[in-house]
Structure 1
């Protein structure tokens, strides 16, 4: 029941979870038996079990709902049903999130952010799991748990530790391409409405004839890309740490336009295989001057959650959720993510995670049965084995379908792109970048200063020199203070 009806005096009768009405005397327990008070027992036993496992990454998040409307014809490139037909609308759920912030933490943390979209198509759910950066931090997925741990809390002190982060970054210098962005002006967007989304992966897509193309997916904020400074973030962190979440909710509630332009950065097979850069390297941004963007449609958010836990916390995304015409990506990070997200979702919410309303596709016919609820109708009396002779669901055939290509990937090398990104910054952007780097790097040990300066110098001589000079001027606060 909505707050509006409650305010208007329209009430329903209070019951236990079993549906039994609660009599007024049972709402007080002083000097009364507890064990036989069903209202008390129902409330307390539920209370201690009302949390599900928090996401290991992207623990905090904000969500909303709307649709994708196709505005341009892209049938030449993909047969994906939800992208075929100008004017076609597909319902979506969207979740934005900081990467390493725990549930209940601050929106202001300087880091890459998640931009996840679930498209409820007639051919199953397609999940886009992007970031607000055009590139990822590592090329080898075996490093991912280590990368997350390096940004989390020191196992001894329980606090975030600059030594951990910069030890990882300097041991894996390909990560500097992303962190130049994170420590730059784009490190803290001005709320989710001003944040773009990027796929980082170069997806293989195909049309009805089985001709394959490749594409990176982009969502460009119609409100305009905007960021806040470190000083502004510190103020908001102290006064409104849920600012991003609040801004998104209030904008939709007030009827403001909350939308993004959806674009594809398309490559032919020949371009993909003969490019000067590894277009499948997730640590590299594909230049738009060489591979221009093709507009596809509008992503519009126009509804807030009625119940945040049911509709947002239970949302479960996985790169493995693909549809015909979108084949996935051939890089190893994508392959790893298809496993780990599926495994995480089942661990958090059980094997029937896709039967939870927030994740339920428009239509599904499987041979999966039983397990931890919810099970829905559990397939009713359909056969529970495949193949069978009793009219169970059958597969379809697509004789034009092409396989996902296989690629060989070399060791990461994005120094040239990182240096170019730095040199394209304005004077003010460079100053703020150096300041933000020193805020993070300064408290680390001198050995990590030396390693970081060496890598910054390899990226750009001026960058290395300015970081070195700023570290010389950095004054470390004493480890112990006398507060009197």
Structure 2
């Protein structure tokens, strides 16, 4: 038999050899333990701190590495180098998640799925933070904390509350588009490989001559859509709470990692002032007849992380991470997330979370950020620790400034329900469904309304009726059949 390799030396965190990892130091075989046993204290203290706070939303997730390869030329719209030529490849990390459940939640639950992509480009990291749906429940970040509370546990019962969810949704008609998708077949994908991804928000491109275009991102699964019914999902959860994690991990280990066709919708900047809907409203989609999909590339996952905690749990995505050629938009939910996501990471992971290997860009990051938790680099030549300075410190790059917005308006707290139809796009979606799809939609909604007070049910059904009378009638019949 071949000789076993010599195992490496066990050390303390400071690198000193660790002599005994089985027995604590004590005053004799039956005596009390000694405070000088720093090895014991180190192990116990580290165990107390080996968990970081879970994400407030998107807590349960999976992820893997892969590549994005350009297949379509969009250089007339953006000067971002990752799109610079056909065949160019960029390393990526994708994290998938459910939204509402805690880290111990089951994968096969009816919920929106997060779809976050980190592109490690030569110009820095670009994070595209989206979902498996093209829309969201609300259009203004002022409502986000309240919405998320309805998805979490009731402070008195410590149980998820269907009443809270439907009360909020029935009082927020802009949620109807996302609610309809959530309770349709696509609201319960069989795994992360079998769903689309969307940037959801409106972003912007700008090109070499500083023209701006609005853009929507679409990741179309090449592994086919597959979905569970509620009954099928209940059986899956009873057997395996990590069904999506297992499916993704095993597929990549077999060399059969998933892939998506990446497409964009493009809108010239000033057209946004003339559309019949607000193109910056994340509860709305852009009709494909008006803005057809343009193929950009292929995203493939081909490598599982070596250490889940270090590379996926600590992976930190934020829409504030952009590169030259890609910009923001007046999308109010996007504007709120530009701050909130990065701030969540500073709180959850640490002040300098972007220094962790999984979050660090492949090109050098040079900032004037000062000290705080996780400042583990030791920069030399600290005369240039402020800016401006006379000591050859990093300087600003005016060329990277995106062009000014040509859309302007008065500062106010606008009620975006005024003149904003929250039913017409839901009606179009409902009319795309065949009889069987509608019946499952009605049944899923009725099941989710179990125990909800009648007045809230009536208020929500009134919204369904404004979409289509058949929508309301179908839900009422499903509720009656449920008893």
Structure 2 distance, partners of 1:133, 1:407, is 29
Match of 1:456 in 2: 464
SS of structure 2 residue aligned to 1:46: helix
Give the match for residue 478 of structure 1. Answer: none
In the alignment, which residue of structure 1 is the partner of 2:11? 15
Please tell me whether the aligned partners of residues 327 and 404 of structure 1 are also in contact (alpha carbons under 8 angstroms): no
CA shift digits 1:104-127 (9 cap, x unpaired): 211122111110011111111111
How does 1:77-156 map onto structure 2 within 5 Å?
77-156=77-156
Q: In structure 2, what is the Cα distance between the partners aligned to 1:399 and 1:313?
A: 31
What does residue 66 of structure 2 align with? 66
Q: CA deviation at 1:279?
A: 1.3
Match of 1:175 in 2: 175
SS of corresponding position for 1:330: coil
Matches within 5 A, 1:223-302: 223-302=223-302
Q: Secondary structure at the match of 1:398?
A: helix
Give the whole-Å Cα distance in 2 for the aligned partners of 1:173 and 1:145: 17
Structure 1 residues 356 and 374, CA, compared in 2 at 3 Å: closer, same or farther?
farther
* TM norm structure 2: 0.93
Q: Which residue of 1 aligns with 2:208?
A: 208
> Once the 2 structures are TM-superposed, how far is the Cα of residue 240 of structure 1 from its aligned partner?
0.6
Instruction: Name which of structure 1's ranges 378-387 and 281-290 shifts more when overlaid on structure 2.
Output: 378-387
Evaluate the alpha carbon distance shift between residue 380 and residue 62 of structure 1 in structure 2; reply closer, same or farther with a 3 A threshold.
farther
Deviation at 1:378, TM superposition (A): 3.7
Is the contact made by 1:141 and 1:336 (CA closer than 8 Å) also made in structure 2?
yes
Q: Separation in 2 of the partners of 1:17 and 1:102? A: 31
Q: Equivalences for 1:400-479 in 2 at 5 Å? A: 401-406=402-407, 410-411=416-417, 412-475=420-483
Q: Is the 8 A contact 2:218 2:264 kept in 1?
A: yes
Q: Is the counterpart of residue 76 in structure 1 residue 84 in structure 2?
A: no
For residues 381-418 of structure 1, the C-alpha deviation after alignment (integer angstroms, 9 at most, x for no partner) is: 35111111111111122299412454667324220111
- TM-score w.r.t. the length of structure 1 is 0.93
**SS at 1:291 equivalent:** coil
Quick one: structure 1 residues 426 and 105, their matched pair in 2 at CA, closer, same or farther if it must change by over 3 Å?
same
Q: Which moved more, 1:295-304 or 1:461-470?
A: 461-470
- What secondary structure is seen at the aligned counterpart in 2 of 1:220? strand
Q: Distance in 1 between matches of 2:11 and 2:236?
A: 41
Contact 1:331 1:407 in 2 (8 A): no
**What CA distance in whole angstroms lies between the structure 2 residues aligned with 1:463 and 1:83?**
43
Question: What SS is found at the alignment partner of 1:176?
Answer: helix
> 5 Å matches for 1:277-426?
277-362=277-362, 363-378=364-379, 380-381=381-382, 383-398=384-399, 401-406=402-407, 410-411=416-417, 412-426=420-434
Contact 1:442 1:449 in 2 (8 A): no
Counterpart in 2 of 1:157?
157
Q: Which moved more, 1:15-24 or 1:64-73?
A: 15-24
In 2, the alpha carbon distance for the partners of 1:309 and 1:141 equals 29
Where 1:359 maps in the other structure, the secondary structure is: coil
* Correspondence for 1:188: 188
Q: Show structure 1 runs of 5+ residues with no match.
A: 1-6, 476-484
Q: Distance in 2 between matches of 1:424 and 1:25?
A: 64
Paired with 1:27 and 1:279, the residues of 2 have a C-alpha distance of 65
CA contact (8 A) 2:82 2:121 kept: yes
**SS state at 1:94 partner:** strand
Structure-1 separation of matches of 2:44 and 2:36? 13
Quick check: 2:96–2:116 contact (8 Å CA) kept in 1?
A: yes
CA RMSD in angstroms, aligned pairs only: 2.0
Paired residue total: 470
User: What secondary structure, in the 3-state scheme, does the structure 2 residue paired with 1:27 have?
Assistant: coil
Counterparts of 1:406 and 1:31 in 2: how far apart (Å)?
A: 78
Pairwise CA distance, 1:34: 4.3
Tell me the distance in 1 between the aligned counterparts of 2:245 and 2:257. 16
